[in-house]
Amino acid sequence: MKYIAGVDIGGTNTKIGILDEEGDIIIKKSIKTLSLDGVEKTMMRIWETICELLREKNINIDNLEGIGMGIPGPVKNQEIVGFFANFPWEKNLNIAEIFKNISGKITKVENDVNVIALGEAKHGAGKGSKSSVTIALGTGIGGGICIEGKIISGFSGAGGEVGHMKLVKDGKLCGCGQRGCFEAYASATGIEREAISRLKVNKTNELYKKLNGQIDKLEAKDVFECAKEGDKFSLDIVEYESEYLAMGIGNILNLINPEKIILSGGVSLAGDILLDRVKEKLPKYAMGVTLQDGFKIEIGILEENAGIYGAAALIG
């Protein structure tokens, strides 16, 4: 029996799982990333945890085929990380080589959101589809394009960075420093900005009541909760969100024409109240042909395990 380790490195926590030949996670553990200790120590700690998990399952280390890793940043050739989004590590580090030197095992690295997309494509909502684009709607918006089982990583490792597609010329300022990005409108932060801005001038609504007037405490999920309870003010914000989401997804459909769009991340948990509106608005933005032949837009199903599954899918 052969095994693969899937590692999902995040800003705070790193999730590590061991998968068997059927592709099932047989054991997993979350450790602190502690990136301030430096790249070598973090990688050592990850390798020690992999060994510990193998021991717990009485698996001989020789039966570990390789390690797949998802990491925040653009990754070239599944080995070199252009820069790290959250870690104080140097640029253009060959993480695959560093980890191979520590472990003696084949190691492949990919951008964290690309890895989530690969996970959903192979083991999640996209299973059985020839192509899918996964859009991770959280604090920001990330994405991954998966065609016939392969991630479109891009020339500099920035493939699938859908969040920085511009929807509005000279539009709202984005965290990236540019203007009018999809992320500035349709991420959780985008929803929060819009809601806060509207609450400044309208306080007679359920959302304001829910927050007890503490506007700065507002989170995107508060908007969805009030909308589900029928608050007109919150429903209007959901309309706003779904309009830009449909525009962004429409653009992806016109360029990539995938079999499936998979929404993941915190905002996707809003569920049907958002998804139904997006579906209704898509024909305004996507060419008709891209919405036919059984095209589907769905919510991701792997949740916190998507990264482990996708990282492991880089191997073999």
The residue ranges that bind a second copy (CB under 8 A) are 74, 82-83, 130-131, 143, 145, 147, 152-162, 164-169, 176, 178-179, 243-244, 247, 250-252, 254-259, 284-285, 287, 289-290, 292-293, 295
Q: In what order do the strands lie in the sheet with 150-151?
A: 150-151, 141-147, 131-137, 260-264, 296-299
Q: Which is nearer to a second copy, 180 or 300 (CB)?
A: 180
Give the residue from 19, 105, 87, 99 showing the smallest Cα distance to 310: 19
Q: Which is nearer to a second copy, 266 or 295 (CB)?
A: 295
Residue type, 174: C
Under 8 Å between Cβ of 46 and 102: no
Q: Which is nearer to a second copy, 116 or 308 (CB)?
A: 116
Instruction: Quickly list DSSP for 136-147.
Output: EESSSEEEEEEE
Token digits of residue 74:
């653009």
CB of 215 to a second copy, least distance (A): 27
CB of 111 to a second copy, least distance (A): 11
Token digits of residue 22:
């059927």
Give the residue from 89, 84, 143, 79 showing the smallest Cα distance to 110: 79
CB of 87 to a second copy, least distance (A): 16
Q: Which is nearer to a second copy, 61 or 289 (CB)?
A: 289
CA distance 113 to 204: 39
CB of 261 to a second copy, least distance (A): 11
CB of 73 to a second copy, least distance (A): 9
Running DSSP on this structure, what letter comes out for residue 269? G
Q: Which is nearer to a second copy, 161 or 298 (CB)?
A: 161
CB of 271 to a second copy, least distance (A): 25
Kindly tell me the sign of the dihedral angle through the C-alpha atoms of 141, 147, 148, 154.
negative
CB atoms within 10 A of CB 94: 16
Under 8 Å between Cβ of 178 and 167: no
CB of 77 to a second copy, least distance (A): 10
Q: Which is nearer to a second copy, 176 or 196 (CB)?
A: 176
Helix axes 272-285, 220-228, angle to 10 degrees: 100
Kindly tell me the sign of the dihedral angle through the C-alpha atoms of 138, 143, 147, 152.
negative
Q: Which is nearer to a second copy, 27 or 158 (CB)?
A: 158
Q: Which is nearer to a second copy, 6 or 160 (CB)?
A: 160
Under 8 Å between Cβ of 297 and 260: yes
CB of 217 to a second copy, least distance (A): 30
